[in-house]
Structure 1
Amino acid sequence: MDSLTQLLTGAVIAAAIVPRRHRRAALAAGAALGTLPDLDVIPLNLLNDNPVIKMTVHRSISHSLLLLPLVAILIWWFCRSRVGSRTSEAPKRWFWAIFLALVTHPILDCFNVYGTWLFWPFGEQTIMWGNMFVIDPMFTLPLLFGALWAWLWPQAWVSQKILLSSLALSGLYLAWSLAAQMYVWQKVDAQLSQMRLDAAPRLIGATPLNTLLWQVVVQTPDGVLSGDYSLLQDAADQPIAWVKVESDVVALKAAEHWQSVQRLQRFNQGFQIATVQDNQLIISDVRMGRYPNYTFNFVVGQWQNGQWQELAMPVQKQTRADVPQEWAYLKQRIWGIH
């Protein structure tokens, strides 16, 4: 999830757990703890110039559910050891405030399609449920209201109810997103079965800022099928209209042993296409963005002397989506507004 959502989630959880006299301190501490795992981008940017490593290592070590509980215990122990600290006044409540504010971060990140190494160091299998987009105001706004209320009126008797209600509203929206995704998933499964693609890997993800329009990507031997389904605009029995996006399987086969290609393949679980432009081999992650403007594209090879040569340093290729065009697409597919 985006940084603001992670910050607010940690802040509201911590403030809801500690005694009310500690509420403002808990908001600040929870916000810091909710942000902490994403600070891995600082050493990644300082110590490394490889864009593929930056993308694939983010949300790994710092997001591990096997590591973060130990970090939470160490932070709690350090704070409690200080004489007169708030943590020493209410150690049990502060333990759970610190623990939950920290470990909910990687769990929330699993709800979008970017992927999280939740069980690092045991393998590089990313977990990506895709039921929410990275930024979704319907999830974030209740948390923002709860955090602001608790900061302005930390001692008010109703503040605890406001905090819990904001968490409940965001939780209900999260549950709705899972139910909506399951509905679309069943529809996709039925259609792919009719197309004799039962075994084809598929990904169903929320589109930007909403959970009413869903993007569907299906892996095929020579590329992907891309489509979408609108809960409001498409009939229940209306088949998804597929766009076939071809991948240069010959070039990809020649590069399959390259370290950068293998790393991307593990990270995106095969939801990628290879294209050749100006004698350059480009790997595009098809999980985020919409054809032809995918968010993550990497130049990994160059055609030289009659064969593909791996680049010592991959290059990230930025493709900027036409924002007015994408916004018009969302309005039309969600609300039917042209």
Structure 2
Amino acid sequence: MDNLTHAALGLSAGVVVARKGGSLPAAAVAAFLAAEIPDIDVFIRSADDPLSSFRWHRHFTHSFSFMPIWAIVCAGFTAWLFKWINKPGINWKELIIPSFVGALTHLLCDGCTSYGTMLLWPFNEIRYAWDCLPIVDLFATLPLLILTIIALRKSSKKIAALGLIWFCSYAGLGIYQHARAEKSLRSWLNEQKISPERLAVKPTISNLILWRGVWLHEGEWQVAAIRVLPFTDTLIAPGEKRLAWTLHSAGNPPPGSEGEKMIRDFTRFTQGWNAYSIKESGILIGDIRFAMLPDGARSLWSVYYGKKDKSYPGSQVADVMMDRQVKEADWTHLKELLLGEDKNYQKVN
């Protein structure tokens, strides 16, 4: 999730597990640092590897096996920091548990989102994604942040615990809503006589009402917006379609080429959720799981293989393309989907 949420979770956890008679501020700082440090992987970049940010984000730095290292580093640094600001007498060993718990909040929080986190590296390289929380959700973060600030001002473990209880309860609601959305989508597909080969349901930004459904059927990906509101009928709006990419798709790079290697690495990251479209000067292979609109098939990130442009006389190139463009009409459409006013909505029996 976003770093503000990680910070609030770390601080609250640090206050809750602070040793009785120890320094509560030091415990909070140690847990805060440990809750932020896994994202140090955002600095892993390579000019020669456009996929490095995808490959290394939420990789080994986000694994359970790396948590003891973060705990020791953050505990030691916090003890040194307090000594440096003339507050000696803090034993770094007393900060191990707050640091460990702070790192744990980061890993579990990221696991609740859709991006995928290698929690069990190096034992496996599966990206675990429980799909119950958006990357950014004000309804999860703001109450937690307010309670965290109050807890720090009052040095109150109870208020800090309330913040953690709120966040966990919200995540629990996300699990429930995700299950409802997936069940409704499968029921609707059954009504349409569609047997999906693969299916996923993802949350959309800052809410647990509107979800993105994606499924594979007869060589095509299709997406749909799913509106799940308590005490009302579930609504599904079928969206766009894209061809599924395969090793035999037209325009693929030759075996052993840089383009083929990039697409292979990209496919490992996407776990095969690859959409395929032919452009005038090449092909675009996108991660169909993620898009700006719940019912849109315009992937947030893709690999392009082809000429730089249709008039480019040189050889084929491969590059990563990002698409975060949102037009005014997109905001209007998103609002209609969220409020249940979209004309394409169908009730699920």
Is the structural similarity TM-score above 0.5? yes
Provide the C-alpha distance between the structure 2 equivalents of 1:123 and 1:197, rounded to a whole number of angstroms.
Answer: 33
Q: Deviations over 1:87-127 (max 9, x none)?
A: 45x82xx3321111012212211222211122222343211
Tell me which amino acid in the other structure corresponds to 2:7.
L
Matches within 5 A, 1:284-299: 284-289=286-291, 290=293, 291-299=296-304
Provide the C-alpha distance between the structure 1 equivalents of 2:306 and 2:323, rounded to a whole number of angstroms.
Answer: 16
Contact 1:233 1:333 in 2 (8 A): no
Task: Give TM-score, length-normalised by structure 2.
Answer: 0.80
Q: Deviations over 1:260-317 (max 9, x none)?
A: 112221211222212222312222112222325432122244499xxxx763x52324
| Structure-1 residue corresponding to 2:336 | 332
| Structure-1 residue corresponding to 2:347 | none
Q: 1:208: Cα distance to partner?
A: 1.0
Q: Deviations over 1:185-243 (max 9, x none)?
A: 11222233444544521110111110011110112343311001112399637555353
Secondary structure at the counterpart of residue 51 of structure 1: coil
Greater percentage in helix: 1
Matches within 5 A, 1:115-126: 115-126=116-127
Provide the C-alpha distance between the structure 2 equivalents of 1:126 and 1:108, rounded to a whole number of angstroms.
Answer: 14
Provide the C-alpha distance between the structure 1 equivalents of 2:131 and 2:192, rounded to a whole number of angstroms.
Answer: 24
Structure 2 residue aligned with 1:185, among 182, 185, 188? 182
Secondary structure at the counterpart of residue 165 of structure 1: helix
Q: 1:41: Cα distance to partner?
A: 1.3
Secondary structure at the counterpart of residue 114 of structure 1: coil
Which consecutive unaligned segments of at least 5 residues does structure 1 have? none
| Structure-2 residue corresponding to 1:72 | 71
Tell me which amino acid in the other structure corresponds to 2:275.
I
Q: Deviations over 1:3-62 (max 9, x none)?
A: 1111221111112211476233333322221110111111x13x4442222112211111
| Structure-1 residue corresponding to 2:265 | 263
Relative to structure 2, which stretch is displaced further, 94-103 or 76-85?
76-85
Provide the C-alpha distance between the structure 2 equivalents of 1:112 and 1:256, rounded to a whole number of angstroms.
Answer: 35
The percent of aligned pairs where both chains have the same amino acid is 21
Provide the C-alpha distance between the structure 1 equivalents of 2:289 and 2:137, rounded to a whole number of angstroms.
Answer: 17
Matches within 5 A, 1:88-237: 91=94, 94-154=95-155, 159-198=156-195, 200-232=197-229, 236=233
Provide the C-alpha distance between the structure 1 equivalents of 2:184 and 2:115, rounded to a whole number of angstroms.
Answer: 23
Secondary structure at the counterpart of residue 99 of structure 1: helix
Give the number of equivalent residue pairs: 323
Task: Give TM-score, length-normalised by structure 1.
Answer: 0.83
Q: 1:335: Cα distance to partner?
A: 2.6
- Is 1:7 aligned to residue 3 of structure 2? no
Secondary structure at the counterpart of residue 246 of structure 1: strand
- Is 1:86 aligned to residue 90 of structure 2? yes
Relative to structure 2, which stretch is displaced further, 176-185 or 250-259?
250-259
Provide the C-alpha distance between the structure 1 equivalents of 2:117 and 2:254, rounded to a whole number of angstroms.
Answer: 23
| Structure-2 residue corresponding to 1:17 | 17
Change (3 A) 1:237 1:25: closer
Cα RMSD (Å): 3.1
Secondary structure at the counterpart of residue 215 of structure 1: strand
Secondary structure at the counterpart of residue 251 of structure 1: coil
Provide the C-alpha distance between the structure 2 equivalents of 1:19 and 1:123, rounded to a whole number of angstroms.
Answer: 35
- Is 1:58 aligned to residue 62 of structure 2? no
Secondary structure at the counterpart of residue 120 of structure 2: coil
Provide the C-alpha distance between the structure 2 equivalents of 1:75 and 1:29, rounded to a whole number of angstroms.
Answer: 6
Which consecutive unaligned segments of at least 5 residues does structure 2 have? 343-349
Provide the C-alpha distance between the structure 2 equivalents of 1:219 and 1:255, rounded to a whole number of angstroms.
Answer: 24
